[in-house]
């Protein structure tokens, strides 16, 4: 399974903030500390993740979770099917199923599926993954 990372792989999030906090961010942007609000928020998130990096590492090891990007193609899953195996996918990051992956192949090759982060797949594949436990115990 391919684990390449592209810098453009991002997910959009929405947050609600109080006007005083937002004003302080705008002040820092206006004074040139950050390029824009997004730059500030990304910096704050990275700072918190760096602070808790060791905790995340310990938990992912304990829960046997793959961190990063996992990509599955139809040929990857076909090899699993031919071998008579089933995948247990536990991930923190991005799990991507190529657009050519048929839902019925996912049905016979994925035993369980848990992800914290994002899933990119066709609606039919996402429906199968939901039945396999997608985001059931790892709701972001």
- Residue 98 and residue 45 share a domain: no
- Whether 11 maps to a domain, the answer reads no
Structural domain count of the chain: 2
- 3-class state of residue 95 by DSSP: strand
Q: Which helix (H) or strand (E) element contains residue 87?
A: strand 87-97
CA distance 6 to 19: 35
Residue range 8-40, pLDDT digits in tens: 567 888 999 999 999 999 999 999 999 999 999
Residue range 100-123, pLDDT digits in tens: 999 999 999 999 999 999 999 999
The strand ranges marked E within the chain are 66-72, 87-97, 110-120
Q: Where in the sequence is the domain holding 83, given as residue range(s)?
A: 59-131
């Amino acid at each position: 399974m391919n684990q390449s990372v592209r810098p453009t792989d991002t997910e959009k999030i929405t947050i609600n903030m109080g006007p005083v906090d937002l004003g302080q961010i705008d002040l820092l942007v206006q004074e040139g500390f950050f390029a824009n609000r997004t730059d500030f928020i990304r910096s704050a998130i990275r700072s918190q993740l760096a602070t808790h990096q060791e905790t995340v590492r310990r938990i992912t090891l304990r829960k046997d979770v793959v961190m990063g990007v996992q990509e599955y193609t139809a040929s990857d899953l076909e090899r699993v099917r031919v071998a008579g195996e089933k995948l247990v996918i536990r991930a923190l990051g991005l799990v991507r199923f190529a657009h050519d992956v048929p839902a019925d192949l996912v049905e016979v090759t994925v035993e369980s599926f848990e992800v914290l982060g994002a899933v990119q797949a066709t609606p039919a594949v996402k429906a199968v993954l939901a039945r396999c436990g997608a985001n059931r115990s790892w709701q972001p």
